[in-house]
Amino acid sequence: MHPLFQNRNSLFAYFFAWVPLGAMLGVVVSAAAHLNWRATAAIVAPVTLLMAFVCLSPWYVCRALPLKGTPTWKLLSHHWVAATLASAFVPSIVPLFLLTFASRIQGSPISLEPTMRVLASMCFLFYLLSIALHYVLQTLESTRQAEVLSREAELKALKAQVNPHFLFNSLNSISALTTIDPAKAREMCIRLSDFLRNSLRLGERMSIPFGEELALASTYLDVEQVRFGKRLRVTQSFDPACDACEVPPLLVQPLVENAIKHGIASLAEGGEIYLTAQLSDGRMLFSVENPFDPDAPAQRKSGFGLLNVRNRLRARYGTAARLDIDPGPGKYRVSLTVPFTKEPVK
CA 42 vs. chain centroid, Å, equals 48
Binding test (CB under 8 A) with other proteins, winner from 297, 318, 328, 329: 297
Between 204 and 295, name the residue whose CB sits nearer to other proteins: 295
Asked whether position 168 contacts other proteins by CB under 8 A, the answer is yes
Contact window for other proteins (CB under 8 A) among 11-19, 38-46, 79-87, 162-170? 162-170
Asked whether position 265 contacts other proteins by CB under 8 A, the answer is yes
Provide, rounded to whole angstroms, the least separation between the CB of residue 193 and other proteins: 16
Residue 260 CA to residue 143 CA, distance in Å, equals 36
Asked whether position 169 contacts other proteins by CB under 8 A, the answer is yes
Contact criterion met (CB below 8 Å) for 160 and 85:
no
Between 3 and 182, name the residue whose CB sits nearer to other proteins: 182
What lies within 8 Å, CB to CB, of 200 at 6+ separation is: 158
Asked whether position 303 contacts other proteins by CB under 8 A, the answer is no
* DSSP assigned state of 321: -
Provide, rounded to whole angstroms, the least separation between the CB of residue 160 and other proteins: 14
What lies within 8 Å, CB to CB, of 317 at 6+ separation is: 338, 339
Between 267 and 306, name the residue whose CB sits nearer to other proteins: 267
Backbone angles phi, psi at 344, to 5 degrees: -70, 145
What is the arrangement of strands in the sheet containing 283-291, beginning at the earlier edge strand?
Answer: 232-238, 271-280, 283-291, 331-339, 322-327
Applying CB under 8 A, what is the total number of residues that bind other proteins? Answer: 29
String marking each residue 173-212 x if it binds other proteins according to CB under 8 A: xxxxx-xx--------------------------------
C-alpha distance from residue 138 to each of 4, 52, 71, 296 (Å) = 13, 19, 18, 46
Residues of span 76-135 touching other proteins by CB under 8 A: none
Between 220 and 340, name the residue whose CB sits nearer to other proteins: 220
Binding test (CB under 8 A) with other proteins, winner from 229, 327, 330, 344: 229
Backbone angles phi, psi at 308, to 5 degrees: -65, -45
Between 30 and 258, name the residue whose CB sits nearer to other proteins: 258
Between 137 and 167, name the residue whose CB sits nearer to other proteins: 167
C-alpha distance from residue 162 to each of 139, 165, 172, 300, 312 (Å) = 36, 9, 16, 18, 18
Between 266 and 308, name the residue whose CB sits nearer to other proteins: 266
Contact window for other proteins (CB under 8 A) among 28-36, 59-67, 190-198, 227-235? 227-235
For the CA atoms of 91, 95, 97, 101, the dihedral, rounded to the nearest 10 degrees, stands at: 100
User: What number of helices (H) and strands (E) belong to the chain?
Assistant: 12, 7
Contact criterion met (CB below 8 Å) for 160 and 308:
yes
Provide, rounded to whole angstroms, the least separation between the CB of residue 175 and other proteins: 4
Asked whether position 293 contacts other proteins by CB under 8 A, the answer is yes
Site residues, other proteins (CB under 8 A) = 164-165, 167-169, 171-177, 179-180, 226-229, 231, 265-268, 293, 295-298, 300
